Amino acid sequence: MIAPLSFETLTLEQKIAQMFVIRASGHLFDSQIRYPAWEPQRKTLKRWISELGIGGVLLIDGSAVELHLRTQQLQEWAEIPLLLCADIEEGVGQRFAGATWFPPPMALSEIASRDWTRAIEYAEQMGAITAREALATGLNWILAPVVDVNNNPDNPVINVRSIGQTPEVVSALATAFLRGTQRFPVLATAKHFPGHGDTSVDSHWELPTIAHDLDRLTQVELPPFEAAIEAGVDAVMSAHLRVPAWDAEQPATMSKRILTEQLRGKLGFEGLVVTDALVMGAIANRYDANEAPILAIEAGNDIVLMPSDPEGGIRAVCDAVRSGRISIDRIHQSLDRIRQAKLKVFSEPPSSTLPLSDLDRIATPDAIHLSESILRDSSCSQGASLPTVTSGRNVVIVDDWLRCSYLGHHTPAIALPKQHGYTPYLIDLNGDRQPPETGTGEPTILQIFVRGNPFGSSRSIAVLGEAWLNKLLKTGDLEAVAIYGSPYTYQNLSQNLPSQLPTVFSFGQMPQAQTVTLGILFGQTAVNWSSLKPLA
- Show which residues are catalytic: 204, 276
Cβ(284)–Cβ(308) under 8 Å?
Answer: yes
Strands 503-506 and 380-382: antiparallel
CA atoms within 13 A on the CB side of 265: 9
Cβ(416)–Cβ(447) under 8 Å?
Answer: no
The CA-atom distances, in angstroms, between 165 and each of 110, 374, 487 are 10, 18, 12
Burial class, 534, CB count within 10 angstroms (exposed 0-12 / middle 13-18 / buried 19+):
middle
Q: Is 35 left (phi over 0), alpha (psi -120 to 50) or beta?
A: beta
Please report, in angstroms and rounded to a whole number, the separation of the first and last CA atoms in the chain.
Answer: 49
Which of 14, 25, 44, 29 lies closest to 309, judged by CA?
44
Quote the CA–CA distance of 82 and 49 in Å, as a whole number: 9
Quote the CA–CA distance of 406 and 133 in Å, as a whole number: 20
Quote the CA–CA distance of 421 and 394 in Å, as a whole number: 9
Quote the CA–CA distance of 434 and 185 in Å, as a whole number: 51
Which of 191, 362, 215, 203 lies closest to 269, judged by CA?
191
CA-based max dimension of the chain: 78
CA atoms within 13 A on the CB side of 32: 13
Radius of gyration of the chain (CA): 24
